[in-house]
């Protein structure tokens, strides 16, 4: 079994902050951290945010068409309360508007931090609101009950909680929808809507005075909003399982991709998270699968049905199937996973997931092309801090080289005329640290590239071999907000090992929208093309990089040349000239001492008077 390293980064960093103008996603907790959180706080019930259709009898419901059914309160400054919104288009995020709940036009519960006077894009304005049903609900004789409601929101760092009391408000149990540390949604956006479902049997089952309370707290930050509709309490069915999340790989030994080069194809393996949402034990829990290549089914089977799930526990178990079909040709493969058990299922509509894997001639991708905002960095005007964002890839087969990286530039980017770059980092399994092994020359963003995919090549192919764990980065330099370049993100992110590295963040993020940063293993993707570079000199990447003190610069000449190496800062100011004189064909190294320089990004250029080649380097202090 290969060991996947997902938390160690050999990069020295300085502090900065994430751009609020786009409310880019903050760090989501890793899945293991999330489990620990719930174990430490037993009153905090782990959420299930998959789309569910609850078949049980409806015991109570409300569609927010009658405001008098609810008691509102707030401690917002200035005062701001929930509203009963009847305009589905009031949702402030275009991707989630209009509100998609069944009865949105009749009214839905709505709080809009982003639109609050004095609060939009400004922190320090607390918005804390509650909405509670005015008349207690009688659930006498109904011991197994579930609370469901339609939820629509974009997350920043807000707490969203539904509280339930079985004794008319004397005691409460909190059921978390989102918290200041992370969103259960993939990325920042929910579905439109997500049907939230919480088993409240232990709190409200067989109780005569049940209260439900929706609580929103923006934590004095740049909160977005929360829309709630069609709340109901339903009776649980005896036998019902739900598949809450799927993995298009065995995530123990690999990462999840949307596109894989044919040369790196491996057996298509799957995982499925399954929860018992019925009232009785579920035995023999597993899943069936089908893989279709676009013309016919090429593989079917089932994962071992050996798991037993007890009811009312909130436990989600993962079933894996690791010996399935290996694609032998390029094309699009659609896979369908259906959760199964020994018992008849009351509602099969929440058992199925479907996904797509594209086998390509050379493109290797984590994202599936869907858009969900961007990753960006907002700098102070005089900052020279660097920002990188990327994805991980695990090499299955030897014989390939990385020739270029495709990056989608976000439509919100303002840095036309500013440079950005791509880089490859490789894991040193012995130390558990990533080291930079190649960086591109700077690519200057043009106006017609904003909102488009851009191909950035490397001077030479980067050879990879089986077992290599690779990070593919896109990055840009510091500057004012008008110099910012944002990178698009979005797509399935259930098992993404997102690598977000800037001057304050060091590590990996789980359950997040992947950046649109893709590897190219096909040499024709390289802008240099099949023909060899005609330059008579080749400049290597300095090592170590980043560095503090002295670094070594290597270069190779194919003929006799009189050369010099010039070091400049990001403004183009010449910092140093390393005169090398006349050299015969061959490989050489020289050193550069940064002791008298500030931390930041610098450039070094090898020139023979008629042509030149440039690379960037990073100085840390």
DSSP secondary structure string for all residues of 462-481: EEE-TT-EEEEEEEE----G
Token pair listed for 282: 């579920």
**Lowest mean per-residue pLDDT among 97-106, 136-145, 520-529:** 520-529
DSSP three-state, residue 160: strand
* Phi-psi group of 244: left, alpha or beta (phi > 0 → left; psi -120 to 50 → alpha; rest → beta): alpha
- Reply yes or no on whether the pLDDT at 500 is more than 70: no
* Phi-psi group of 304: left, alpha or beta (phi > 0 → left; psi -120 to 50 → alpha; rest → beta): beta
Look-up of token digits 């509509």: 349
pLDDT in tens, 194-209: 989 898 999 999 999 9
Strands 419-428 and 443-444: antiparallel
Distance in angstroms (rounded) separating the CA atoms of residues 90 and 87: 6
**Lowest mean per-residue pLDDT among 14-23, 179-188, 302-311, 443-452:** 14-23
pLDDT in tens, 534-575: 457 888 888 888 788 999 999 988 888 899 999 987 666 788
| The pLDDT of residue 448 | 85
Give the residue among 96, 197, 112, 232 at the shortest CA–CA distance from 152: 96
Q: Largest alpha-carbon pair distance within the chain?
A: 94
| The pLDDT of residue 216 | 96
Give the residue among 485, 482, 483, 493 at the shortest CA–CA distance from 515: 493
Average pLDDT for 239-253: 80
> Binning pLDDT at 50, 70 and 90, where does residue 33 land?
very low
Element (H, E) at 34: helix 31-40
| The pLDDT of residue 9 | 41
> Which residues, 6+ apart, have CB-to-CB distance to 534 below 8 Å?
none
| The pLDDT of residue 215 | 97
DSSP three-state, residue 56: coil
| The pLDDT of residue 494 | 56
Q: Rounding to the nearest 10 degrees, give the CA dihedral for residues 100, 105, 108, 114.
A: 70
Average pLDDT for 601-619: 81
Distance in angstroms (rounded) separating the CA atoms of residues 337 and 320: 11
Give the residue among 564, 548, 544 at the shortest CA–CA distance from 597: 548
pLDDT in tens, 76-120: 888 889 999 999 999 998 889 999 999 999 999 999 988 775 544
Average pLDDT for 469-478: 89
Look-up of token digits 């991709």: 257
Give the residue among 320, 318, 326, 293 at the shortest CA–CA distance from 304: 320
| The pLDDT of residue 561 | 87
Average pLDDT for 317-342: 89
| The pLDDT of residue 497 | 63
Average pLDDT for 474-482: 82
DSSP secondary structure string for all residues of 334-394: EEEEEEE-SSPPS-GGGSEEEEEEEEESSEEBSS-S----EE-EE--TT----EEEEEEEE
| The pLDDT of residue 214 | 98
Global confidence as pTM? 0.66
Selected residue with higher pLDDT from 242 and 36: 242
The CA distances from residue 32 to 176, 256, 452, 529, in Å, are: 17, 17, 35, 44
| Domains of the chain, CATH where assigned | 31-54+56-235 (2.60.120.200), 241-364 (2.60.40.10), 373-525 (2.60.120), 537-619 (2.60.40.1930)
Q: Is 353 in contact with 246 (CB distance < 8 Å)?
A: yes
According to DSSP, residue 14 is labeled -
Omega within 30 of 0 (cis) for the link into 193: yes
> Which residues, 6+ apart, have CB-to-CB distance to 105 below 8 Å?
86, 88
Distance in angstroms (rounded) separating the CA atoms of residues 496 and 261: 18
Strands 352-360 and 259-261: parallel
Average pLDDT over the chain, rounded to an integer: 81
| The pLDDT of residue 502 | 62
Strands 173-178 and 83-85: unpaired
Look-up of token digits 């950035």: 456
Strands 58-62 and 225-235: antiparallel
- Reply yes or no on whether the pLDDT at 17 is more than 90: no
Q: Is 88 in contact with 107 (CB distance < 8 Å)?
A: no
Q: Is 47 in contact with 175 (CB distance < 8 Å)?
A: yes
Look-up of token digits 């170590």: 544
Selected residue with higher pLDDT from 219 and 8: 219
> Binning pLDDT at 50, 70 and 90, where does residue 503 land?
low
DSSP secondary structure string for all residues of 100-156: -STTGGG-EEEEESTTSTTTTT--S---EEEEEESS-B--TT--SEEEEEEEE-B-S
Q: What's the residue count for the chain?
A: 621
Tell me the three-class secondary structure of 532-558, residue by residue.
CCCCCEEECCCECCCECCEEEEEEEEC
The CA distances from residue 348 to 51, 145, 240, 579, in Å, are: 12, 19, 8, 73
* Phi-psi group of 124: left, alpha or beta (phi > 0 → left; psi -120 to 50 → alpha; rest → beta): left
Give the residue among 265, 285, 266 at the shortest CA–CA distance from 275: 285
Phi–psi pair at 350, nearest 5 degrees: -105, 20
Q: Is 604 in contact with 567 (CB distance < 8 Å)?
A: yes
Q: Is 63 in contact with 133 (CB distance < 8 Å)?
A: no
Average pLDDT for 469-477: 91
DSSP three-state, residue 327: coil
Element (H, E) at 428: strand 419-428
């Amino acid at each position: 079994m290969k060991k996947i390293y997902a938390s160690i980064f050999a990069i020295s960093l300085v502090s900065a902050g994430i751009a609020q103008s786009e409310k880019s996603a903050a760090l989501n907790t890793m899945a293991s951290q999330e489990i620990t959180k719930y174990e430490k706080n037993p009153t905090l019930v782990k959420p299930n945010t998959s789309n569910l259709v609850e078949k049980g009898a409806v015991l109570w419901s409300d569609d927010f068409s009658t405001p008098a059914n609810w008691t509102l309160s707030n401690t917002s400054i200035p005062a701001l309360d929930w509203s009963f919104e009847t305009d589905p288009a009031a949702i402030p995020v275009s991707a989630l508007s209009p509100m998609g709940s069944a009865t949105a036009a009749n009214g839905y519960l709505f709080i809009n931090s982003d639109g609050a006077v004095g609060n939009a894009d400004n922190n320090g304005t607390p918005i804390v609101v509650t909405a509670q049903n005015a008349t207690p609900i009688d659930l006498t004789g109904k011991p197994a009950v579930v609370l469901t409601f339609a939820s629509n929101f974009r997350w920043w760092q807000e707490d969203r909680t539904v509280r339930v009391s079985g004794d008319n408000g004397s005691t409460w149990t909190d059921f978390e929808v989102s918290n200041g540390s992370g969103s259960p949604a993939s990325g920042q956006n929910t579905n439109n809507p997500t049907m939230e479902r919480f088993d409240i049997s232990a709190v409200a089952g067989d109780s005569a005075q049940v209260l439900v309370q929706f609580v929103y707290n923006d934590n004095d930050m740049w909160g977005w909003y929360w829309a709630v509709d069609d709340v109901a309490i339903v009776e649980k069915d005896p036998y019902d399982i739900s598949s809450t999340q799927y993995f298009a790989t065995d995530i123990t030994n690999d990462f999840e991709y949307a596109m894989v080069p044919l040369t790196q194809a491996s057996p298509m393996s799957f995982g499925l998270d399954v929860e018992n949402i019925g009232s009785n034990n579920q035995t023999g829990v597993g899943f069936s699968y089908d893989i279709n290549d676009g013309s016919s089914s090429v593989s079917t089977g089932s994962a071992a049905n050996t798991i037993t799930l007890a009811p009312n526990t909130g436990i989600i178990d993962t079933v894996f199937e690791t010996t399935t079909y290996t694609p032998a040709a390029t094309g699009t493969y659609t896979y369908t996973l259906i959760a199964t058990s020994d018992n008849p299922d009351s509602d099969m509509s929440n058992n199925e997931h479907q996904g797509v894997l594209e086998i390509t001639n050379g493109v290797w991708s984590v994202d599936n092309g869907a858009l969900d905002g961007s990753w960006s960095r907002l700098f102070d005007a005089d900052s020279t801090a660097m920002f990188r964002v990327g994805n991980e890839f695990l090499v299955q087969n030897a014989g390939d080289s990385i020739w270029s990286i495709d990056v989608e530039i976000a439509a919100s980017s303002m840095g036309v005329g500013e440079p950005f770059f791509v880089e490859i980092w490789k894991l040193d399994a012995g130390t558990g640290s990533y080291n930079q092994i190649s960086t591109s020359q700077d690519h200057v963003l043009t106006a017609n590239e904003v909102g488009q995919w851009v191909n950035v090549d490397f001077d030479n192919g980067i050879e990879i071999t089986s077992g290599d764990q690779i990070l593919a980065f896109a990055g840009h330099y510091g500057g004012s907000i008008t110099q910012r370049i944002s990178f698009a993100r979005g797509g399935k992110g259930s098992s993404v090992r997102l690598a977000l590295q800037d001057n304050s963040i060091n590590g990996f993020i789980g359950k997040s929208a992947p950046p649109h940063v893709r590897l190219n293993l096909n040499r024709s993707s390289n802008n240099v093309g099949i023909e060899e570079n005609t330059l008579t000199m080749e400049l290597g990447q300095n090592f170590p990089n980043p560095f503090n003190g002295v670094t070594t610069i290597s270069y190779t000449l194919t003929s006799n040349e009189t050369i010099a190496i010039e070091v400049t800062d990001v403004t183009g100011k010449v910092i140093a000239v390393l005169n090398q004189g006349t050299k015969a064909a061959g490989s050489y190294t020289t050193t550069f001492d940064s002791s008298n320089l500030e931390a930041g990004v610098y450039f070094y250029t090898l020139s023979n008077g008629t042509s030149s080649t440039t690379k960037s380097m990073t100085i840390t202090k």
